[in-house]
Structure 1
Amino acid sequence: MGEKQVIKNRYLPLFREGGVDVVAGAIYVDDAYLPEMALRQALDQVSSLYQELQDTPDDIQLCCTYQDIVAASEAGKVAIILTMEGVEPLFNDLNLLPVFYQLGVRVVTLTHSRRNYAADGCAYTEVPSGKAGGLTDFGVRVVELAQRLGIVVDVSHLNEEGFWDAMEFCPGPVIFSHSNPKALCNVPRNVTDDQIKAIAQHNGVVCINATNLMLDTNPQRVDVSRYLDHVEYVADLVGVDFVGLGFDFCDHLLAFLSDAEKARLPKFFAAPGISNHGEVVNVKKGLLQRGFSESEVARIMGGNYLRVFKEVVGK
């Protein structure tokens, strides 16, 4: 669309309204650009972010270490953590991962809800039997190199076979950046109690998604209260230190994608009451009303995620 200062004009007011001071922003390549255009699309997105950072230096900051996040907060800036949602930009070239690390990527989701050279994703609907696979040899090498570089491994979107492979090759913290318990919404994209427990055993964090498809199979029950049900479920199952927020707000897709691109997306919407960053305050209010302490709420609303970031990425 050629619009400049998108973060400043479209999102910064919502960040301020909702009290959001750390945001994870993902490199994501739509299916239409795979495989040949994936790298170029990814680099274009990084370039656009760098232009935004240059145009809005007093308000946002790309943060590559934990201390960067602390410094951004002290300066009143919103900290941006750059992530990669699906390693399609690497294709099958492991040498590109250190390049993206140098560009600022600090969290890598191995795949989206599709197959790539690293792994199989989990679809939003059931797939025919016999079609699922775990991590490939390349996927194992991505996981191992990510850990050596100091990149957080994110297992959202992985199918269950790939998840257990990833846990085998990740001795340290691993995250679900935007996944919910199947016990409350039994869809393939969500995760089992055993998977949640495994994340806790690795000192990781399960960040809860606010998209209708992940919260409830009945759209009439999708609201901020249902979102809080998912947060509370994980906290009750494994403890408050292992649950976080991973809203997966996708309003930008509706604003910027073409009609053809939008037609390929599942029919999603964000839960009323938590539909954008400006409404994040409703989560804090709801958690306090449910009996969580101020300290517990602070851990859920970013503290647990930053604990993992600090441990894996470094100070």
Structure 2
Amino acid sequence: MNIQYTIDGHFDMLGDVCQRRRNGEREVIRRCFYPAFAAGHVTGVVASIFVDSCRLPYGALEDAMEQVGALHCEIAESPDILMLCTCAADFEEAARSKKLGVLMSFEGAEPVSSLTLLHSFYAAGVRGLGLAWSRRNQAADGCDFMGGLKKGGLTQFGLDLVREAEKLSMLIDISHLSDEGVEDVLNHTSCPIVATHSNARAIASNNRNLTDAQMAEIARRGGLAGLNGCSIIASETKEGASQEKLIEHLDHMIDVMGEDHVGFGFDFCDQFLTGSSAQDLARMPYVSFDLVGGHGALPEFIGRLADHGYGETRLKKIAGENWLELFRILDTK
């Protein structure tokens, strides 16, 4: 099977890279991540800028800027294997050059306390805005994993931020956003919307997942949803989490959205949870685990999807072409 592009729409590597660099390590991506990317034939990744709760509220901006700087340093140290991507053409060039293309995106707007700061991050290469993680911030309410908190939509600042991001043709990411916030985003924008790492609520009744109505509207607007491989997103119970369950989600997402609007957003977490703060881990119903064994296991998972009945054309779209098409659409805005 000739899959030219494999793009993971959500990966939490920047926080780990940044912490390792603080400890004096260098070429972290080459040593700690690239072997799996190469084994999985991964050509691109959307790397999240996520600030752990232990750094809030005062350390959000500093932490985010360090993560951005860490990636730029890594690319400067390993230009033979890494490339900063801000558009579709960059991802295509990265694949042609046998490099990993990396696009940066916020997972939570905590570091962005003004519209001017959004422009600053944009100038540094950030091209995605996820408004919230599973907590409340100055822009929006996140959807906590267990659904126990009262939710609100976007604040006035959140609405202003979304409108500014739309002007910049940034990816506006609704993963982790409350239903009320999703409604606000859809009511106040006209651009394609993404849910970089969310599954189907019809398969797992987790408010981190998308309703059929939300998925249908994302598809109608030319957006995309990324299949999330974390067990706590795929299954309400630890015992029910499996690759079979993950494929159930993918089948349903394609049934609702069509094969042109679904991609990968695996959110691999096994190698990062040991570095998470206790207060963030306590937000989860159980300790999550990856249902696909990391990026190196992607060829095996894609093979399993082929055995499940997915043809080559569909697999190419899901693996990476749909992400590329979304970037092309945003490039023309």
| TM-score (norm. length: structure 2) | 0.89
**Whole-angstrom distance in 2 between the partners of 1:312 and 1:142:** 17
Q: 1:265 to 1:34 in 2, by over 3 A?
A: same
Q: 1:262 to 1:193 in 2, by over 3 A?
A: closer
Matches within 5 A, 1:22-171: 22-91=44-113, 93-128=114-149, 131-171=150-190
Task: Supply the distance in 2 between the matched residues of 1:251 and 1:297 (Cα, whole angstroms).
Answer: 25
Shift of 1:81: 0.9
Give the equivalent residue in structure 1 for 2:317.
299
Higher relative contact order (CA 8 A, sep 6+): 2
* Matching residue's letter, 2:115: L
Task: State the match for 1:173 in structure 2.
Answer: 192
Structure 1: distance between partners of 2:58 and 2:265: 30
Cα deviation, residue 222, structure 1: 1.8
Partner residue of 1:191 out of 191, 199, 210: 210
| Equivalent pair of 2:269/2:290 in contact (CA under 8 Å) | no
The one-letter code matched in structure 1 to 2:62 is R
Contact 2:226 2:264 in 1 (8 A): yes
Identity of aligned residues (%): 34
RMSD: 1.7
Code of the aligned partner of 2:120 = V
Q: Give the counterpart letter for 1:116 in structure 2.
A: N
1:254 to 259, 273, 278: 273
Shift of 1:253: 2.0
Unaligned ranges ≥5, structure 2 = 1-19
Structure 2 Cα separation of the partners of residues 286 and 186 of structure 1: 25
Q: Which residue of 1 aligns with 2:251?
A: 232
CA deviation vs aligned residue, 1:89-109 (integer Å, no higher than 9, x gap) = 012x11100110011111110
1:275 counterpart letter in structure 2: G
Mark the CA change 1:263 to 1:173 in structure 2 (over 3 Å): closer, same or farther: closer
**SS of alignment partner, residue 42 of structure 2:** coil
Match of 1:14 in 2: 36
SS in 2 for 1:68: helix
Q: Per-residue deviation at 1:313?
A: 3.6
CA distance in structure 2 between the aligned counterparts of 1:179 and 1:138, rounded to whole angstroms: 25
Matches of 1:312 and 1:259, distance apart in 2: 35
TM-score (ref. length: structure 1): 0.93
Are 2:226 and 1:207 aligned?
yes
Q: Given that residues 144 and 283 in structure 2 are in contact (C-alpha distance below 8 angstroms), is that contact kept between their aligned partners in structure 1?
A: no
CA distance in 1, matches of 2:234, 2:278: 26
